[in-house]
Amino acid sequence: MELLDELFAKERKIEAAQKHDNEQLLYDYRIVLQTAEGRRVLWDIMSMCHLYSLSMTGNSNTFFREGERNVGLRVLGRILEANPGAYPQLMNENMENKDERD
pLDDT band per the 50, 70, 90 thresholds, residue 80: very high
Q: Angle formed by the axes of helices 36-48 and 2-33, to 10°? A: 110
Chain center to CA of 20: 17
Instruction: Yes or no: say if 89 and 99 are a contact pair by the CB < 8 Å rule.
Output: no
Residues of the domain holding 18: 2-101
Range with the poorest average pLDDT among 28-37, 59-68, 80-89, 90-99 = 90-99
Q: What is the pLDDT of residues 37-49, one digit of tens each?
A: 999 999 999 999 9
How many structural domains compose the chain? 1
Position 101 pLDDT exceeds 90: no
**How far apart are the C-alpha atoms of 96 and 94, rounded to whole Å?**
5
Average pLDDT over residues 76-87: 96
